Amino acid sequence: MSEIRYNAITGDWVIIAVERAKRPMNFADVSQTIETPSFVESCPFCRGNESTSADEEFRISDEKGNWKIRSVRNKFSALAGSGDPVILDQSRKTINGVGRHEVIIESPLHNHIIAFHSPDETYNLLSVYRNRFLNFYSDSRVKHVILYKNHGPDAGTSLEHPHSQIVGTPVIPGQVIQRLNLAEKSMIETGKCLYCQTMSEELTEKKRLIDETEHFVAFIPFASLSPYHVWIFPKKHSACFSTACAEAMTDLSILLHKILGKLYTALHNPSFNFVIRSLSPIESDLPYFHWYLAIVPRLSKAAGFELGTGMYINSSVPELSAENLRAAVPPV
């Protein structure tokens, strides 16, 4: 019989469809394993095509001066990079679309995805994330920063070359406010951080645990909204991603690389999104919010039921999915 589980962090009810549960090979799309070249002449992100991409904002280079990671302005940003936020309609809460949007090009190679990174490459990528995150929050127009990655056609990727994106908005998104309200309510009721409590339960039960390091833990939530949905939590409480120390960043790079490698192996290079959910540096000491990284393989689509109810149907069992990922061996 199916179970209906409540996700206390997101505020969502999820139907865990036990009798419809699928094994990993049922989710896999073999078309995702087709070989990709290391250079594509028409790709603006490949090394040698730098003049075709937008203005560069930041880079990391090797000892010979060749770039390893670049952050460039998004040519097709939904938000204007110049000007100041102006109220256009007070009654309808409308402002002009001013903000920041950059593309972080993760490698000069067209086919070098994170699952095949070295630990140093993943660490460098997280360092660039941190640099741009702090830079965006130093802009007084920015009220919230979102760091995310789309991988594969089902995740909304428009360019195949490995890249991430960072957006600074002049407003705080409604979903962020909703989750903050849930977390604050939980702390008022229990006196504890909901995220720390959730992590403690996962570490104790170990049923949905995938892996852990000294500073981080990776697990599939008890009421995961979709198949193989993974959360990576820092063990030390903080509301802001940029507060992680150098040792923690090293830990996170190792764990993120391992988890994405396991997903690549278990699900045959699935499309996925990952998002770093964080508040601003000045909110880092907020006691009821805990930053984390969410990885969402795009193995299912929302349909009429989800749109009509706001509930999710997860056709995988979190405990079995975690078991499969624990057993998966990342590619060499």
What is the rounded CA–CA span in Å between residue 89 and residue 47?
45
**Across the chain, what does the average pLDDT equal?**
94
Q: Check if the beta carbon of residue 99 is closer than 8 Å to that of residue 80.
A: yes
Q: Is pLDDT of 31 > 60?
A: no
Q: How many domains does the chain have?
A: 1
Q: Is residue 68 part of a domain?
A: yes
Answer yes or no: 163 catalytic: yes
**Residue 78 — very low, low, confident or very high, per pLDDT cuts 50/70/90?**
confident
pLDDT at 191 over 50: yes
Q: What is the pLDDT of residue 332?
A: 73
In a domain, 236, yes or no: yes
In a domain, 332, yes or no: no
The pLDDT-based confidence of 180 (bands split at 50, 70, 90) is very high
pLDDT of residue 24: 60
Does 153 fall in a domain? yes
pLDDT at 33 over 90: no
DSSP string covering 154-210: GGT-S--S-EEEEEEESS--HHHHHHHHHHHHHHHHHSS-HHHHHHHHHHHH-SSEE
Structural domain contains residue 237: yes
Least confident of 1-5, 6-10, 240-244, 261-265: 1-5
pLDDT at 23 over 60: no
Percent of the chain with pLDDT over 90: 88
User: From CA 79, how far away is CA 95, in angstroms rounded?
Assistant: 11
CB 130 within 8 A of CB 242: yes
pLDDT band at 299 (very low <50, low <70, confident <90, very high): very high
What's the chain's Rg over C-alpha atoms?
20
**Is pLDDT of 259 > 80?**
yes
Taking the C-alpha atoms of residue 219 and residue 228, their distance in angstroms, rounded to an integer, is 10
Query: What is the residue range of 32's domain?
Result: 3-327
At 3, list the tokens.
């179970």
CA distance 276 to 221: 16
- pLDDT confidence tier of residue 297, bands split at 50, 70 and 90: very high
User: How confident is the model at residue 286, as a pLDDT?
Assistant: 98
CA distance 193 to 174: 21
CATH number of the domain to which 148 belongs: 3.30.428.10
By CB atoms closer than 10 A (0-12, 13-18, 19+), residue 73 is middle
Of 101, 163, 237, 290, which one is the catalytic site residue? 163
Would residue 298 count as lying in a domain? Answer: yes
Q: Let me know if residue 12 belongs to a domain.
A: yes
